[in-house]
Chain A
C-alpha cells in the first residue's frame, strides 16, 4: 500500500523557509525524544551493570565456599548448577502459561473484534482491560484459596489416564501446590494483556482486505483466516511476548502456590519439583547472608538475560516474513 507518500515538495519548502517558532518546537521535540531514547539505554545498561557487579562475588566463588557460607545453598553445586533448575522451572511455568493463554486470548479477541454485537464487544473490551489491572497477589490468593482446592480431582484424573506422558506423570499431589496449578493461574494473569493487544491489532485489519475476502465469498471464519489472522500475526506474537514477559517475572502468584523443588522435572502434577527464579528470590532474600543475596542476584541476572533473549527471538520471528507483513 503506498498510502504514506514521501514528503511533497510543498511541505519541504515550507520547513525550509523555517518559521522561528516552528523550529524551536522542533528542536525541543528532537531533544526530548533523543534523550528519552538515551535514557532507556542508560537504564538498561545500569540494570545490567548492577546485576553483574552484585552477582560477581557469588559467580567468582567455587561451589564449596558457597555451600559453607550460605545455609540454604545445596552442597557441592557451583552457581551454574544452582541457577540451572531455576531457569528450567521459570521457563516451564512461563511456556505452559503461554500455551494455555494464547489460543484462548486470540479467541476472546476475535470474538470481541469480529463476532460480538457492538454493545457486547465494548463491554467485554472494558472487562478485559479491567482484568489486566488486577494485582498479581490477588491472582495468587485466588489460585491458592479458590482454584487449588477444587482442581485436585482434575489433575489426578489427567495423571491417572495420561500418566505415561512425562508432563503428566503421577501421582498428583494433594493439595495441588504444583506447577500445573501455577501455570493455570499465570495463564489467567497474562490472558488480559494478550487479549487486549490482539483485539487492538484485529480491529486494525484494513477494511480493504476484509472486503476483498468477503467479495470472494468468504464466511466469517474464512474472512478471519484469510484477512485478519495473517495481518495480525506479528501483533499476536507481540502480545504473547508481553504475556510471556509477565509470566517469566511473576513472583507472588508462584510464591503463594508452588511447593518448591530444585529438579529438572517435567512432572507438573507433583509437589516439590520446580521453582522459578523470581519466586525463589522473594522466598530466600529476606534471610539471606550477603553472599546469599549475591547468589540470588546471579539468578536475577539469568532471568534478565532470558527475558532479553525471548524478546529478541520474538522480534526475529516477526521480521522473518517482512515482505509479506502488509507493512509496506
Chain B
C-alpha cells in the first residue's frame, strides 16, 4: 500500500513569485518523514504540491517533477483528482463535514469512488477505519451523531479515519496537532506510529520534539529573508538531524537559537 515519492528540482511559484526553490528529496515508503522549519519557509506549500492541493489557490504552478513509484504526478493527462485519491491529506484544523454524521464522514471519500457500497461493507469499513484511527471505542455507540460534536482531538482522528478509509498510498499531515491539547496530541502521535506500518507518512510540524518523537527522517526548510524563496537545507535520519546535523542553520534552529 505504501509507496515512495521522488521529488526532483521542484520550484513552486505563486504567480511570478518563487515561493520554494529547488527541492530534491526522496520520501521512503512505510516511514514517517517530518518537515520542520520556521514559519513561511514553504514547508506546508511544498507538502501541498505532493498531492496537488496547492492548485486550489489560483495562479500557483510548479516546475520540476514529483514521481510516485516512477509516475510523474504532474505528467500530461494526470488528473489531480486521481492524485488526491492516492495521496490523502489531514489538515491543521480538524475539518469533519459539519452536515454529516460520524459514519457519513468516514464514508465521505469512499462514496465518491464507490457509490454502491453495500451496507455491510460500509459498516465494516467504518469500523476498520475508526479502529485504524483509534477512535472506534469512543464513538461506536454514536455513529449517527454529528461529527462536529466530537472534541478537537477526536475530530482530528475522525479526519484521519476519513482519509485512510479510501486506502491511500501516502498520508500527508499539515501540522495535524497544532490545534490540539497535549493529550490529544499524544493520541495522534501514537496513531502515526501505528499508521506507518501501512502508509507512507509526511508530517509538517512546528514542534521539534514531535518531529523527534514520531519521524524516521527529518527535512529542514529555511528561508533567507522576506521575499526570498524557501529552500530545503538538509534532510537526514531524524536521529542524525537532532544530534549532529551537517548544516549550521539546522543546528541553530533545532537548538532554539533561531526561529
**Contact residues of A with B, CB < 8 Å?**
1-2, 118, 206, 208-219, 222, 226-227, 230-231, 233, 321, 323-326, 328
Contact = CB atoms under 8 A, between A and B. Distances in A.
Contact of B166 (A210, A217, A328): A217
Given A215-B91, A222-B112, A326 B148 contact: yes
Contacts of B162: 212, 216
Contacts of A328: 98, 146, 148-149
A227 B97 contact: yes
* Chain B interface residue number, banded: 20 to 34
A149 B53 CA distance: 52
Interface in B196-252: none
Nearest to A2: B152
Contacts of A213: 97, 108
B151 to A, nearest CB: 9
Interface of B: 51, 53, 56, 58, 81-82, 84-85, 88-89, 91, 93, 95-101, 108-109, 112-113, 145-146, 148-149, 152, 159, 162-163, 166
A323 B102 CA distance: 12
B155 to A, nearest CB: 9
A106 to B, nearest CB: 16
B102 to A, nearest CB: 11
Closest 6 A/B residue pairs (Cβ): A326-B98, A217-B85, A230-B99, A216-B109, A215-B89, A208-B95
Given A211-B95, A227-B97, A216 B51 contact: no
A211 B53 contact: yes
A216 B84 contact: yes
A49 to B, nearest CB: 42
B159 A212 contact: yes
A321 B99 CA distance: 9
A223 B67 CA distance: 26
Nearest to A220: B81
Contact of A1 (B99, B101, B145, B148): B148
B2 to A, nearest CB: 18
Nearest to A327: B98
A327 to B, nearest CB: 8
Contacts of B108: 213, 216, 226
Given A216-B84, A324-B100, A324-B146, 7 more contacts: A211-B53, A214-B56, A215-B88, A325-B99, A326-B148, A328-B146, A328-B148
Contact of A233 (B85, B99, B148): B99
B77 to A, nearest CB: 16
Contacts of A230: 97-100
A216 B152 contact: no
A219 B81 contact: yes
A218 to B, nearest CB: 6
A326 to B, nearest CB: 3
Contact of B99 (A216, A218, A231): A231
A119 to B, nearest CB: 11
24 contacts: A1-B148, A118-B58, A209-B95, A209-B97, A212-B95, A215-B53, A216-B84, A216-B85, A216-B108, A216-B109, A216-B163, A217-B84, A217-B109, A217-B112, A217-B166, A218-B81, A218-B112, A227-B97, A230-B99, A324-B98, A324-B100, A325-B99, A328-B98, A328-B148
B99 A326 contact: yes
A211 B148 contact: no
Contact of B91 (A118, A211, A227): A211
A210 B53 CA distance: 11
B97 A226 contact: yes
A2 B81 CA distance: 30
Contacts of B93: 208
Nearest to B105: A212
Contacts of A326: 98-99, 148
Contact of A209 (B56, B98, B149): B98
A209 B99 CA distance: 11
A211 B152 CA distance: 18
B96 to A, nearest CB: 8
A66 B108 CA distance: 63
A213 B85 CA distance: 11
A207 to B, nearest CB: 8
Of A212, A217, A230, most B-chain CB atoms within 10 Å:
A217
Given A209-B98, A214-B84, A227-B97, A323 B53 contact: no
A212 B112 contact: no
Contacts of A323: 145-146, 149
Contacts of A219: 81, 112
Contacts of A324: 98-101, 146, 148
